[in-house]
Structure 1
Amino acid sequence: MNEQTQRTQAINWVLRIMRLGGLWPWSTSKDECQLLALLKGNYRYVLHVPITFTFIGLMWLEAFVSNNLEQAGQVLYMSLTEIALVVKILNIWHRSAAARQIMFHMKHSSDYELQSEQEQSLWQQEQRLFKWYFYLFLLTSLGVVYSSCIGVLFLNDYELPFAYFVPFEYRNERSYYYAYGYSLIGMTVTSVSNVCLDAIGCYFLFHLSLLYRLLGLRVQGLEYVNSETRFKEKLIIILKLHNRIRSLTLQVQNLVSPYVLSQIVLSAFIICFSGYRLQHVGIRANPGQFISMLQFLSVMVLEIFLPCYFGNEVTVYAHQLTSDVYNTNWLQCDNRSRQLLIAYMEHLKKPVKIRAGYFFEVGLPIFVKTMNNAYSFFALLLNASK
């Protein structure tokens, strides 16, 4: 495995799935025929217009034609989730060139070459851990879909696993499986797309936190440099690397900001309607749906927690650089090196924070606030229903 593959080994499998799902651009060459290039360019529309966007539109239509709050609540919890997915899809399509450029820079730039066994060991360990996070996330999300789809098959009535507006009468043996099959396909495509887009957004934040962590290790290494000339050379290299990482941070923020903002704004309502739906699903009457709703609620909490956690990691490791600089042998440096260290400390006073649409700072505090808001909306909705 070459170093470029090692740098992004946690996300390489996600990028392959995203290409198949029309969410990441296919690589093209000048020698390709025009028909193949046309298919690659429009493949995403062929996949998502008849399945993703149409399915989401039918979900919202079902919510609008519902007769009461309870009936609307059965579809609103999923409809709001799909709206967040639409924002993510449109964002990655609109910024596909920027996303691809950032990924190429992270993978191939010589600025981020690993220089020691300690750095390589840390990098590979964290990449493997991130990969397992999203294996678990994907399996849990698909578990929500298929447990619900399997559960309705044991009911006496013809119920769909996920409610949406069906333009024909489906509550009969002949037509039911057409509506059921479209629901199964639509939810599978949207679920995998949602997980992959969450994965790519969180990975950019995760990669940034690793770069700041790597920078901290190199600053700590200055403590063991005895030569003043060598100390100054290493310090200048670190300062240049820090500027490149800060520039990369702004690029990543512009890329993930719309997706994180939509997730934060909608998550409180999604969790609220999920809890409301759970109140009306009996475990004895429909155990499959009840288990599916519990899984869905856990996935929604995880979906808002992950970007907040990795955004918080960026802030924590960037802030830790101040302590790392202070612990160097600055007392034994010459005047020029001390001036550079003081200037660097002043530069580090400006905190590194990922912002979502210039409204929220992405971190664990906003996760706690979102959960508090979800509980408040849930209590209000219960009182309104009574």
Structure 2
Amino acid sequence: MKKNKTFDYSQLMAHIFKIYKILGFWRPDPDMKHKNLYHCYTAFWLSLSITFMSSQVIYMYNNRKSLKEVLAALYITLTFVSILARQLTTYKAMNELKEIIKQLNRPLFQVKCQKHYEIAEETNRNQRLLYNICLFLGVSTDIFAALFPLFSKEKVILAKAWFPYDWTKPFNYFMTYIFQNAVLIWHTFVCYSIDIFTFILLVQIGIQCDILCYTLNHLDDFYFKDGILHEISLRDKLELRKDMEKFSKAMVKNLVVCVQHHREIIKLAKDIQRIKEIGIFVLFASGALVLCTCLFQLSMVQFGSVESMMLLFFSICMLTEQFLYCWFGSDVIYKGSLILQAAYNTPWTDCNSKFRKILLQLTTQACCPLNILAGGLFIMSVPVFISVLQTSYSYLTLLHSIQ
């Protein structure tokens, strides 16, 4: 008998949790030291964020008769509102998310053989490159946003907003510049941490589906002990095959674990959906309008300027963010569908009727599509992203016709 390796899923979120704590976004544990001070730190950043958005809302109201001025502030305002909505829903459900991370390290979700370990390691290694690309796009946008006011021929600020003072005076301008850039950087990393955390959770659903599919495809490579599956040696496997009655009983135990595993995968998907659906819905509800207003602003500035680069990277960030949500949503659907196919690859022809009845239960259970709903209205998938692009293009065409 071979000894199982272990895979620490919580380590995948360790760097995200560090970012949460630095940003004041972490929900403190009851025994955390200086908890009240940390709450004040959280309230400070949240008040800056609300002040930033309020100044833009007032600016848009004061200039409501000018479509150009409203659009100049709208894309940032909507983006920050979307981030704030996802931040508040995530913060509210932080304890539940912590519990989900603990659940991922349960024996049922753990790797059970070398191939399982390779599946988990390879998938997460591939995702790290993607996460670094997201970080690069976000930081690049912040850099161009910081440089834009400095390279402008006129005295401008990063985001058009209303202030109860004359921001053109040197000291006031400096403080306004620091304020807006600090809030932008804070929102960038809050958005990055929320999105990457969600992506990691969606990837874990895919990994568990891959692990379950491999287990079903090689069900006779495992044996049941202490409530979980272990990899069996070739010698014991051949020995087990000699007694078909004993083999059937062993396969029944293995299949029962697979049925439990599948149920827990469905529960994991539903828990993630319940926690994240409002935030994801707000993202996609505002996504088309944010994209079209940002692209409209891009068409109004000189291409090659620092402002155009800021708007270009901002647009790419928004496109990448929404595409990845849809991509991972489609990945969950696809990998969930493979479980039904894998169920037919079990050695059911060599097993008794009890095995076949349990297998029928698994196939019936696997017939229901595994997906993530956003706001209970639409399934997160690539076709939804295409719809967002089409809607954005329609809005952009409308704005240009009005202009």
- In 1, are the aligned partners of 2:6 and 2:111 still within 8 Å (CA)? no
After superposing on structure 2, the runs of 4+ consecutive aligned residues of structure 1 that deviate more than 6 Å are none
Question: Offset of 1:86 from its aligned partner?
Answer: 1.4
* Residue 296 (structure 2) pairs with residue 298 (structure 1): no
Cα deviation per residue 1:129-154 (whole Å; 9 max; x = unaligned)?
22222222122112112112213212
The correspondence for 1:342, drawn from 353, 360, 377, is: 360
The correspondence for 1:277, drawn from 289, 297, 307, is: 297
User: Which residue of structure 2 lines up, in the alignment, with residue 40 of structure 1?
Assistant: 38
User: Which residue of structure 2 lines up, in the alignment, with residue 233 of structure 1?
Assistant: 253
**Aligned positions of 1:143-182 closer than 5 A:** 143-182=140-179
| Structure showing greater Rg | 2
In the alignment, the residues of structure 2 paired with residue 308 and residue 23 of structure 1 have an alpha-carbon distance, to the nearest angstrom, of: 25
**Aligned positions of 1:17-32 closer than 5 A:** 17-29=19-31
* Residue 402 (structure 2) pairs with residue 384 (structure 1): yes
In the alignment, the residues of structure 1 paired with residue 51 and residue 136 of structure 2 have an alpha-carbon distance, to the nearest angstrom, of: 25
In the alignment, the residues of structure 2 paired with residue 58 and residue 5 of structure 1 have an alpha-carbon distance, to the nearest angstrom, of: 47
In the alignment, the residues of structure 1 paired with residue 301 and residue 153 of structure 2 have an alpha-carbon distance, to the nearest angstrom, of: 16
- In 2, are the aligned partners of 1:58 and 1:166 still within 8 Å (CA)? yes
Q: Relative to structure 2, which stretch is displaced further, 79-88 or 163-172? A: 163-172
Q: Aligned letter for 1:232?
A: V
Q: How many residues align?
A: 375
In the alignment, the residues of structure 2 paired with residue 170 and residue 255 of structure 1 have an alpha-carbon distance, to the nearest angstrom, of: 41
Q: Aligned letter for 1:244?
A: E
In the alignment, the residues of structure 2 paired with residue 41 and residue 74 of structure 1 have an alpha-carbon distance, to the nearest angstrom, of: 34
The correspondence for 2:181, drawn from 181, 184, 188, is: 184
In the alignment, the residues of structure 1 paired with residue 35 and residue 26 of structure 2 have an alpha-carbon distance, to the nearest angstrom, of: 15
Cα deviation per residue 1:80-99 (whole Å; 9 max; x = unaligned)?
11110111121112222212
**Aligned positions of 1:13-92 closer than 5 A:** 13-29=15-31, 36-49=34-47, 51-66=48-63, 67-92=65-90
TM superposition score normalised by structure 2: 0.88
**CA distance 1:5–1:177, change in 2 (3 Å):** farther
- In 2, are the aligned partners of 1:8 and 1:127 still within 8 Å (CA)? no
Q: Secondary structure of the residue that 2:256 maps to in structure 1?
A: helix
Question: Offset of 1:215 from its aligned partner?
Answer: 1.0
- Percent same amino acid among aligned pairs? 17
Cα deviation per residue 1:318-355 (whole Å; 9 max; x = unaligned)?
11111111122222221111121122111211111211
* Residue 11 (structure 2) pairs with residue 9 (structure 1): yes
TM superposition score normalised by structure 1: 0.92
In the alignment, the residues of structure 2 paired with residue 381 and residue 145 of structure 1 have an alpha-carbon distance, to the nearest angstrom, of: 27
- In 1, are the aligned partners of 2:10 and 2:102 still within 8 Å (CA)? no
Question: Offset of 1:175 from its aligned partner?
Answer: 2.7
- In 2, are the aligned partners of 1:355 and 1:361 still within 8 Å (CA)? yes
User: Which residue of structure 2 lines up, in the alignment, with residue 253 of structure 1?
Assistant: 273
Please, which runs of 5 or more residues in structure 2 have no aligned partner? 222-236, 242-246
User: Which residue of structure 2 lines up, in the alignment, with residue 326 of structure 1?
Assistant: 344
**CA distance 1:112–1:375, change in 2 (3 Å):** same
User: Which residue of structure 2 lines up, in the alignment, with residue 213 of structure 1?
Assistant: 210
RMSD (Å), alpha carbons:
1.8
